[in-house]
Amino acid sequence: MDSPKSHAPSLAIVAHDQMKDGMRDWARRHEKLLSRYRLFATGTTGGIVAAACPGLKIKRLKSGPLGGDQQIGALIAEKKVEALIFFVDPMTALPHDVDVKALIRLSILYDIPFACNAATANLLISGMARK
């Protein structure tokens, strides 16, 4: 028999360097709700969130620029991630902008919710938790 956790919705979280503190703070505010999800994160973001929210189980992938963004993309393509929260820094030129665009494209292609700020992420996790 499957455990209840095996049917938990899956969520990937990523944050650009200047947005990692915001992601940490957002995760702290929503730790109880996030505990209902199977969580994936790029390496650095996952480490920061895990340190702030030790009760969360987070599958950490590689750092974004080292391939973590592509790993998240593969999980989306394999339908192992049902939603993506990516706190994008709107004020800094992005050296790996093509990786961001690839994740946006995959989110559109596979029709999964994509949140790029806290306000949208709040709606996303609240809505998914009601299913």
What is the percent of the chain where pLDDT is above 90? 76
Report yes or no on 124 lying in a domain.
Answer: yes
Mean pLDDT (the chain) is 91
**pLDDT tens by residue, 37-90:** 999 999 999 999 999 999 999 999 999 889 999 999 999 999 999 999 999 888
What does each C-alpha distance from 56 to 4, 43, 45, 75 come to in angstroms?
A: 16, 15, 13, 20
Q: What is the pLDDT of residue 110?
A: 98
Q: What is the pLDDT confidence band of residue 120, given thresholds at 50, 70 and 90? A: very high
Domain ranges, residue 50: 10-129
CATH of residue 125's domain is 3.40.50.1380
Determine the pLDDT at residue 24. Answer: 98
Residues classed as catalytic:
69
pLDDT for position 38: 97
Is residue 10 scored above 60 in pLDDT? Answer: yes
Q: Is residue 5 part of a domain?
A: no
The predicted pLDDT at position 70 comes to 94
Q: How many domains does the chain have?
A: 1
pTM of the model: 0.90
Q: Is residue 119 part of a domain?
A: yes
Query: Which residues, other chains included, contact 28 with Cβ-Cβ below 8 Å and sequence gap of 6+?
Result: 52, 53
pLDDT, position 129: 65
